[in-house]
Chain A
Amino acid sequence: MGEHGAHVLRVAVGADDWRRGPDDAPVTLVEYGDFQCPHCGAAYRVLEELLAQFPGRVRLVYRHFPLMSSHPRALPAAIAAEAAGAQGRFWEMHHLLFENQHALGDDELVEYANRIGLDMERFRADFEGRLNESKIREQLRQGARSGVNGTPTIFVNGERYDGPRTVEALAQAVAAAG
């Protein structure tokens, strides 16, 4: 890479990040993702398996990186995930979105909210009010400054991971990182 240099995470993981796994886990994976991106859908399955393989050793953080001009449903889906998060259910929505990437219309997003048992009145208000849209856009801006060049991009303990996104390769990276 020479003059271009390594790519490191500019914004540290904080309290307002969506996190899974223990905060004192030796390895933190930060994923910049887009709910409409098929490669993110594939990475979702890989990361789920990785988490199962390393219980307690890996913390997963999800940040938004919606490529809105090519994925028109990425932003509404991200807002739906934020609205679910406001009710403590971010990850359930995250899973449903990645498992239903071809059905991300407004009605479907509302249906997923219903399926995971959200307070629907509150969800509708948050969704229609575009909850946390500025946070989502800011994550994209900051992500780009950290060297996110497409989705998904994964950082392992703050450093951009450019290897294959397979369970085996990522497991090696996790083992090497901590």
Chain B
Amino acid sequence: MSALPVGQKAPGFTLPGSPEEPLSLSDSRGKNVVLAFFPAAFSPVCGNELSLFQELKPDFEELNAVVVGISVDGPWAQKAFAKQLNLEMPVLSDFHPHGEVAQKYGVFRDDGVAERALFVIDAEGVIRYSYVSPITENPGADKVLEVLEGLQKGG
């Protein structure tokens, strides 16, 4: 399975998680979306990745972007995870059917969890950045910010 490449239309989805209301990709049309797949809630590297995105919230806002975390954990785990890390961003539960959205994006692993993957989806719903990180490595925010800055300049 390989991650959907740049230029493809981003598959739509609606998922529950944190906060209470289910979220659809189409809710964010008109904004850039950073879709951050991660293998499991509560692994320390994940926490760092989403915590980092949380700290950079004003930067993402300036770039007309929202960050959305997503993993195969259940909605209750996502709520607890988001609460523990004080995450204000949506953390979605790709739990049922298991990993369906990860599969659509080509980032579902044989061991049953999502890859650690980042997608930037532009305001028209087109994938503009696609990256699968080594599973134990926090990919950071630099490339994503660079791509968003390029989009803002009309890249």
**Once the chains bind, are B56 and A144 in contact (CB under 8 Å)?**
yes
Report if A27 contacts B (CB, 8 A): no
Report if A147 contacts B (CB, 8 A): yes
Count of chain A residues near B, Cβ 8 A: 18
Contacts of A85 in B (CB 8 A): none
Q: Contacts A149-B48, A150-B48 given; indicate if A69 touches B142 (C-beta within 8 A).
A: no
B97-155 at interface with A (beta carbon < 8 Å): 131, 133, 137-143, 145-146
Contacts of B49 in A (CB 8 A): 149-150
Report if A70 contacts B (CB, 8 A): yes
> CA separation between A70 and B137, bound complex, in Å?
19
Report if B52 contacts A (CB, 8 A): yes
> At the interface, is chain A mostly helix, strand, loop or mixed?
loop
Count of chain B residues near A, Cβ 8 A: 25
> CA separation between A150 and B53, bound complex, in Å?
11
Residues 149-173 of chain A: 1 if any B CB is under 8 Å from the residue's CB, otherwise 0?
A: 1100000000000000000000000
B7 CB to nearest A CB, Å? 15
**Once the chains bind, are B142 and A146 in contact (CB under 8 Å)?**
yes
**Once the chains bind, are A4 and B85 in contact (CB under 8 Å)?**
no
Report if B87 contacts A (CB, 8 A): yes
Report if A107 contacts B (CB, 8 A): no
Query: Which of B45, B84, B85, B145 meets A144, CB within 8 Å?
Result: B145
**Once the chains bind, are A149 and B131 in contact (CB under 8 Å)?**
no
> CA separation between A4 and B116, bound complex, in Å?
13
**Once the chains bind, are B52 and A67 in contact (CB under 8 Å)?**
yes
**Once the chains bind, are A144 and B138 in contact (CB under 8 Å)?**
no
> CA separation between A168 and B137, bound complex, in Å?
22
**Once the chains bind, are A145 and B51 in contact (CB under 8 Å)?**
no
Contacts of A83 in B (CB 8 A): none
Binding site for B on A (CB under 8 A): 3-5, 7, 66-70, 140-141, 144-150
Binding site for A on B (CB under 8 A): 45, 47-49, 51-52, 54-56, 59, 84-87, 131, 133, 137-143, 145-146
Query: Can you name 29 A-B pairs with beta carbons within 8 Å?
Result: A3-B131, A4-B133, A5-B143, A7-B142, A66-B55, A67-B48, A67-B52, A69-B54, A69-B55, A69-B85, A69-B86, A70-B86, A141-B56, A141-B59, A144-B52, A144-B55, A144-B56, A144-B140, A144-B142, A144-B145, A145-B145, A145-B146, A146-B142, A147-B142, A149-B48, A149-B52, A149-B138, A150-B45, A150-B138
